[in-house]
Chains A and B, each alone.
Chain A
């Protein structure tokens, strides 16, 4: 069998460059005196901007016609263990990499006034975070992926724990331990698969493509447990109901940039990882678990929206809306049809953009009034008309108004879901009503009405810096809403391949909820050690 490791037509290790470029910036910052805050800020901004500019090469040079990995770099790393340094992206990950590089300069720019102490460390942490995120999206070696996956937690932990709100420690530790708790199960599964691979081929390797090629006949009873291990790690990250409670806390306590990154990128890592690892590794188990995941997702959609409706804190409201939206992403993904998966990827991007923008908006208000309670605001559009327009765009994008990006994702997701099971769609679509409910209500409670609190009369409208980082979001809202074709086109080949692969693997197996499979899976409990050989 010839393995498709992919190739790099660019002749330049661009993924490594994009991944480690922020690290170089962070190292340079180490040597900058801490009192030169202005320099630190602008340096980080331009560094992140250059990062984004460079990453655009990926967009232009990406070959839309193939599902194979591109811009691949593959060198041995730890020879004894068979660990490789193997990076590459395909249609599934490219948009998320670009989303990350797009969000970075915004996050730097929105922190200028929010972060007032230990700026140097803050920008270093921010840049270090980018390394972990981009690396995790690009890594195709399981070991490498795991390293990036865990590395990412540390700067995020610091960002919440040091520059966060009043309950920052609780939130940071909860975030860290909860995510970490899940990752351990993934680690166990990775190790198990590592041995399984060795047992089969006699070679030690963490190579994703090799695993996919040779570990394609894992018996259902092992798949069952391996899938669950990965599921736990990623479901916490997504977060899928009922593993979501770390999210509102982390969001509320994190500084604006932290919330933006959390919502826009970190959550996407969970959904991306589902698409990258458990689904192609364990198609049978994935189909077996699909109904459960669908039910959890539907609960997440409705429950998240209901919780959002009850919030008094704007950030918490947006956080719960994330739970609701990510539920739809998960639901569409586990329908295993091209439309659903394309919808779910585009919805990941959309959610990153619209929720990111909403967190920035809350941040803008917070910087002015130092409160996020909805009742502290009313009639703001009178004093901040420009802000009201931007907020309106973000809100409409979030509730899926046709013509803006949210609709494209929501519609394709729901279409994919409907195609697989109309009953799921029936429930999932109620999210659109509730979504409009909590978002409009938030908007009107803060922006409409008369100004009741004296202080609010003196709120200044958006500053130039704020315009600079909000306008790109609006451009993306409209672009994806009106002309999403390039975004669909870039992922099409990879998604089609994935769906074909999964269907090919599962076509011979009748995957349904029958009790014999369940028993077979559970029998593993009694002869547990089998998995290693």
Chain B
């Protein structure tokens, strides 16, 4: 089956083409009959490929030559190994169910076929990203998903906030891609290839400095795509897109591309301890930083968005401490539970007529039993409560952080786990429990979503419950880790002694306790109202304000970069108009003045004298230029050309005879 893996991206490509060309005119509200089966086939093939890989097969499928110059040799080729197989499963499973969900969620939208075109296109590029056998092909998918993200964030393009968010996402990603492309060039320059196999095989020939530079540059790309400090700013705004898009692109798949890329390049990263350290620190800081912002937001989707940024931080944190398999493991579990949370919140939105402010919710459990149930499952997984999926992966990352000697980062990570549990259940309690604060107009329409939406929710919650079990211990490693072992180059840390000092069970107990504490605090504050949150907001007004305004990073970036670039642009333009063009026009003016002088002052004398070539030219230009004012130059232009040819001939004849 594995040799047919190239068909996996072909299905969405076909779906996208059909809907793209015939959608608006002919298919209209039946677009899902094209898009969803296409994804179903992809899913099916992915499962078959996955089974093959489970049986130990890997494959390199070369399709055709792409960029071929004397120095560059990049083929369109797919590389399927364990890591790809995991990603394939994550991408196609989530995509399929989110496509199904979209039938319900996007029904009645006027742009229905357009939506499914974009969504298919996204899956196509995402599959190219994970299947690509070289950095360049990965980059194709990488930019392609960025485009789809742009299109889908700005899907409701009449809303200013939507298209602004789309553009912000694209440009921010481009800044990261700038690093990525330079990283690719660095690898190519020193290794002469961009194919994964060859790069990893030849990597040992690189000097440590070069590996460090290359990996840091690639990581710059990852900070853009996966919304890490300093380029995370686009992701919260990306919530302007339809909710299934947020679930698929901005939680489950696209934003994890950076993690995939780092895990894919683990051979390189493991050679560059400094880069790994940077990855770990950035990841951990982002996790903490975004979680703090999450505690203060009132928009349900924004809470989830910051939570995504934070969880992506965990994944990088995992990779950064050398636990690539754990990073990918968290990527997988996160795809399920965060996808689930987003879809559930979409279901809430659907019922609440697009209201997202949690201050206007509460007691929704009564009205939407299935949605609230699935949301709580997702929440428990996110909060890291056993036996839900998130617990296993998050714990593995924290455990590896501890054993690799990153005690400070481990502490920050554990603290973040507590904050995560707090804000998750803050959202749960504010939305589904307590006293209803729902406006009357909305209350009348409150309803559970149709089965086409709730069934995907149930499927994903099964994933959110059970996906973690692949992380069960198997000897030294885990089942999941063992599966990925052929792809992952294991890093041995110098100071692994800590592992012995505190047994793993203690760490697990500690992180569970932290998680439960977070939930408990949320329970007291937002459920029992034993502590008035408003009072605490007043007391910690400064902190709250900092969190609520997101540390003013957006404002800072605008002031530092966007506005300055625009100033520079405006300045350049004025410079162009007045200085550079000024010189040109000035020169023209001078020759015009000169021509005038020649015409009326000197010509009468020269005409009497011998006519020489020079004056002929001057005279000609005088006539031409004088005509500028009258506007009848056309005839004279022919003269210029004829004159030149004559001149040329004359010069030559002078030399010849």
Contact = CB atoms under 8 A, between A and B. Distances in A.
Given A338-B70, A339-B71, A430 B637 contact: no
Interface in B140-154: 140, 142-144, 147, 150, 154
Interface of B: 20, 24, 64-72, 76, 136, 139-140, 142-144, 147, 150, 154, 157-158, 160, 163-164, 166-167, 170-171, 174-175, 177-178, 181-182, 185-186, 188-189, 565-566, 568-570, 572-573, 576, 580-581, 584, 588, 628, 631, 633-634, 637-638, 640-641, 644-645, 648-649, 651-652, 655-656
A401 B649 CA distance: 50
26 contacts: A81-B652, A147-B645, A150-B641, A161-B634, A245-B580, A338-B69, A338-B70, A339-B70, A342-B70, A401-B147, A407-B143, A408-B67, A412-B67, A414-B181, A415-B69, A415-B185, A415-B188, A418-B188, A419-B189, A426-B182, A433-B174, A433-B178, A448-B163, A449-B158, A482-B76, A484-B66
Contacts of B649: 81
Contacts of A161: 633-634
Contacts of B71: 337-339, 415-416, 419
Contact of A432 (B167, B174, B656): B174
Max chain B C-beta neighbours (<10 A), residue from A382, A437, A448: A448
Contact of A339 (B72, B573, B576, B648): B72
B69 A173 contact: no
A401 B144 contact: yes
A453 B581 CA distance: 34
A191 B650 CA distance: 12
Contacts of A178: 584
A219 interface: no
A436 interface: yes
Given A402-B139, A447-B157, A432 B181 contact: yes
A291 interface: no
A447 B151 CA distance: 12
A215 interface: no
- Pick from A81, A309, A415 the residue with the most CB of B within 10 Å: A415
From DSSP, what is the main secondary structure of chain A's interface residues? helix
B178 A432 contact: yes
B637 A245 contact: no
B651 to A, nearest CB: 6
Interface string A430-465: 101110110011001001111000000000000000
A169 interface: yes
Nearest to A411: B67
A308 B570 CA distance: 9
Interface stretch (A54-62, A90-98, A151-159, A224-232): A151-159
A221 to B, nearest CB: 22
A500 to B, nearest CB: 11
Q: In which size bucket is the chain A interface?
A: 35 or more
A403 B160 CA distance: 29
A81 B656 contact: yes
Given A161-B633, A338-B70, A425-B182, A448 B572 contact: no
Contacts of B581: 245
A157 B634 CA distance: 8
Contacts of B70: 338-339, 342, 492, 496
B175 to A, nearest CB: 6
Contact of A448 (B24, B144, B158): B158
Q: Which of B64, B68, B181, B182 has the most CB of A within 10 A?
A: B181
Nearest to B194: A415
A244 B583 CA distance: 12
B143 A402 contact: yes
Nearest to A191: B651
Contact of A154 (B69, B143, B185, B637): B637
A147 B174 CA distance: 45
Contact of A246 (B68, B167, B188, B584): B584
Contacts of A244: 580
B168 to A, nearest CB: 10
A389 B71 CA distance: 35
B169 to A, nearest CB: 10
A422 interface: yes
A432 B181 CA distance: 10
A172 B150 CA distance: 40
B192 to A, nearest CB: 10
B167 A425 contact: no
Nearest to A445: B163
Given A161-B633, A339-B72, A432-B181, A448 B154 contact: yes
B167 A245 contact: no
A301 to B, nearest CB: 12
Contacts of A195: 655
Contacts of B584: 174, 178, 245-246
Given A245-B584, A246-B584, A488-B67, A441 B167 contact: yes
A204 interface: yes
B628 A173 contact: yes
Interface string A463-503: 00000000000000000001111001100100010000000
B565 A483 contact: no
B49 to A, nearest CB: 23
A449 B175 contact: no
A311 interface: yes
Given A153-B641, A242-B580, A402 B565 contact: no
A401 B185 contact: no
Contact of B637 (A176, A401, A436): A176
A307 B581 CA distance: 13
B171 A436 contact: yes
A440 B167 contact: yes
Contact of A440 (B136, B158, B170): B170
A337 B188 CA distance: 15
A430 B171 CA distance: 12
A180 B64 CA distance: 47
A187 B643 CA distance: 13
Contact of A307 (B72, B174, B576): B576
Contacts of B166: 444
B212 to A, nearest CB: 15
Given A309-B565, A418-B185, A450-B158, A412 B644 contact: no
Closest 9 CB pairs of A and B: A309-B569, A310-B573, A402-B140, A448-B157, A245-B581, A448-B163, A306-B572, A418-B185, A310-B569
Given A245-B580, A339-B71, A440-B171, A385 B24 contact: yes
A177 interface: yes
B181 A429 contact: yes
Contacts of A414: 181, 185
Contact of A485 (B66, B150, B651): B66
A525 to B, nearest CB: 20
Given A245-B576, A440-B170, 5 more contacts: A154-B637, A191-B648, A195-B655, A242-B580, A303-B576
A381 interface: yes
